[in-house]
Amino acid sequence: MLLGYLFEALKNKVVAEQYLVDIFNELQFSDIQAISKPGVNTFSQLQMMARKKLTSFSRAADECADADGKLKDLVIIGNKFIDLMSAEQQMVFCGVHYHGKTTTGLAAQLSKPEEEIKRILKESFIIIRKQRNDTATVHR
Amino acid sequence: MIQLQYIDSGILEAYVTGSATDTEVKELMYMKAKYPEVNFALQQLELDMEHIAQHMAVMPPAGTWDKISNTIDELVLRGEYDPKQFTTDARDNNYHNFKTDNSPHFIAVESESNHMKVHKNWKWVLAAVFVLGKIFLGCAIYFYLENRQAQQQVQELKTELKQLKK
């Protein structure tokens, strides 16, 4: 799953694999203990580590939006959750999730209040949750 | 209720996507510990993130695990050891009265094993040395035979020259 996330963010399988190997190789014993504690979502913690590592790359990589704030045509291809989002939601979700941007940074970039960015991000998660619940109902 | 307002504020979403500030993270950790509703909402968001990742999961190439396990194998878990507290007789601190159990009273400095551990990368170095050794040996045998044949030819030519002179 982590490789899938890295591949989506980096758009290069070889580089994504190298990042995956580096992330696991850089894990200290204390990190392993921290992420495997009861009640802690291990994947989520690993994804946060990956996102930190990607930050330097993300700044140099393609942005989700053009300089004028217009959404690019191909943000993430084949992700059904992102496809369900509006252009604005995609821009915020993609910027935060794949490009490691902060809500403050996005607010400045899009000339919107930070609360508005958080609201848009929350709406994106509502879409994901709805999709997750629908999938669960179908499988049930 | 404050916890519901907090959940609706969007900070939890910012946290799971790694875009929350340090202050927000600290605040969230506090709220998570204090309010089970916040903890539950956070767990659900983490599951949402996991769900997206499952949908876009990619099978790692065959050699990926080997690259990771090489490093993990070097991490050796140390067994938990609970040292006993040092106690003395309060009435008499004479060293003869120190109570000791049957545990070893010295630290083993030298390892008992006669084997030496080397990094796995050395196997490729040793393999290369072995192959190069074989190549040099083959070359040495080849040139030795060539040299011997050349010497025989020189010897034959000398003999022929001597016979011609006669």
Convert A10-21 into a string of H (helix), E (strand) and C (coil): HCCHHHHHHHHH
Q: Running DSSP on this structure, what letter comes out for residue B75?
A: -
Report the pLDDT value the prediction gives residue B75, as an integer from 0 to 100: 61
**B64–A47: do the CB atoms touch at under 8 Å?**
no
Q: What is the mean pLDDT of residues A2-25?
A: 83
CB contacts of A20 in chain B (<8 Å) are 60, 64, 68
Report the pLDDT value the prediction gives residue B82, as an integer from 0 to 100: 63
Question: What's the mean pLDDT when you consider all of chain A?
Answer: 78
Token pair, residue A75, equals 């943000």
Residue B44 to residue B30: CA distance in whole angstroms: 18
Report the pLDDT value the prediction gives residue B32, as an integer from 0 to 100: 87
Token pair, residue B28, equals 């969230």
Is A50 or B94 the better-scoring residue by pLDDT?
A50
Domain A80-139 falls in which CATH fold?
A: Arc Repressor Mutant, subunit A (1.10.10)
- Using a CB–CB cutoff of 8 Å, tell me whether B165 touches chain A: no
Q: Running DSSP on this structure, what letter comes out for residue B96?
A: G
Token pair, residue B29, equals 């950790």
Judge residue B48's burial from the number of C-beta atoms within 10 Å of its C-beta, 0-12 exposed, 13-18 middle, 19 or more buried. buried
Report the pLDDT value the prediction gives residue A134, as an integer from 0 to 100: 72
Tell me: the pLDDT tens digits for A63-114?
A: 565 545 455 544 455 677 888 888 888 888 888 888 888 888 888 888 899 8
Chunked in runs of 10, what are the mean pLDDT values of chain B (166 residues)?
Answer: 83 86 88 89 88 82 78 60 62 54 58 75 93 97 97 95 88
Report the pLDDT value the prediction gives residue B87, as an integer from 0 to 100: 64
Report the pLDDT value the prediction gives residue A61, as an integer from 0 to 100: 42
Choose among A3, A94, A47: nearest CA to B68. Answer: A3
CB contacts of B51 in chain A (<8 Å) are 128, 131-132, 135
ipTM over 0.95: no
In angstroms, the separation between the Cα of residue B60 and the nearest Cα of chain A is: 7
Residue B119 to residue B97: CA distance in whole angstroms: 49
In angstroms, the separation between the Cα of residue A48 and the nearest Cα of chain B is: 6
Report the pLDDT value the prediction gives residue B160, as an integer from 0 to 100: 93
Report the pLDDT value the prediction gives residue A67, as an integer from 0 to 100: 47
- CATH 1.10.10.10 segments of chain A: 80-139
Q: Which of A52, A104, A128 sits opposite B51 (nearest CB)?
A: A128
**B72–A4: do the CB atoms touch at under 8 Å?**
no
Report the pLDDT value the prediction gives residue A72, as an integer from 0 to 100: 53
